[in-house]
Amino acid sequence: MASIQFFARPPLPRLAYHRICGRDPGVVFLPGFMSNMNGEKALALEEFCSSAGHSFIRFDYSGCGSSEGNSEESLLGTWKNDVLSVLDNLTTGPQILVGSSMGGWLMLLASLARPKKVAGMVGIANAADCFVDRFNQLPPETQKEVEETGEWKIPTKYSASGFYTVRHQFIKESEDHCVLGSGIPVACPVRLLHGMKDEVVPWRNSVRVAEQLASEDTDIILRKNADHRMSQPEDLKLLVSVVDALIHKLTKAHLH
């Protein structure tokens, strides 16, 4: 395993990351909301890239995991800028972005901001627009309560407290980054993996993403028995094989 490093970018918080140097295209893993770079998907991809000789980066967003900063002060735009910082300063050549849940949303935003840098994308349980959509589906009185208290507690089995606390300010700022209301002008190959037993982000969200993407080379892969995490051994095997196939496709295209 690569040792932890820190990317300094004063006055912004330092970002913790692990990097393997290797061939292009490189792979960059983007974790989900309140997650970090040490999850099973990130480690499975690191192991694969290491054995295949391709460069790989996993990192923590500001205020998450080992990175500096305060997660309570972070907005979706903060984390989008973290992704761009990593792409601009820690990678060379074309990259495949692999985004899990909220990381899948950030992956789309990064590809829009850096179209020449992003050669391909793999989304896992893509959560594009999800915070905003879910908030807008709440009864008006609940929305008002969230506005007044400044906090929205979302029930989840993935947190020890039984819920994630999302600030109202985070949701409002996220509205500036919604991508599913109109076309997503991204032309690179995209693979969207989603579990049909996902109770957090409905699998139809990946279908919505595919419908809006300009790229003709877009595939959706649904796993009937997978949940939101998609971290079972068979899920990880699928993820690695999809990334492997995308690397081969991009390498072949480059050679021709």
Q: Please write the tens of the pLDDT for every residue from 182-240.
A: 999 999 999 999 999 999 999 999 999 999 999 999 999 999 999 999 999 999 999 99
Can you read off the two tokens belonging to residue 18? 């692990």
Active site (annotated) includes residue 228? yes
Percent of the chain scored above 90 by pLDDT? Answer: 93
CB 153 within 8 A of CB 236: no
Can you read off the two tokens belonging to residue 186? 């991204």
List 9's β-bridge partners, or say none.
Answer: 12
pLDDT over threshold 90, residue 157: no
pLDDT over threshold 90, residue 255: no
pLDDT of residue 254: 74
Q: Please write the tens of the pLDDT for every residue from 110-143.
A: 999 999 999 999 999 999 999 999 999 999 999 9
Q: Can you tell me the mean pLDDT for 34-51?
A: 97
Can you read off the two tokens belonging to residue 111? 């590809």
**Catalytic-role residue among 82, 198, 227, 235:** 198
Give DSSP secondary structure letters for 89-131: HH--S-EEEEEETHHHHHHHHHHHH-TTTEEEEEEES--TTHH
**Catalytic-role residue among 174, 227, 228, 235:** 228
**Catalytic-role residue among 67, 71, 101, 111:** 101
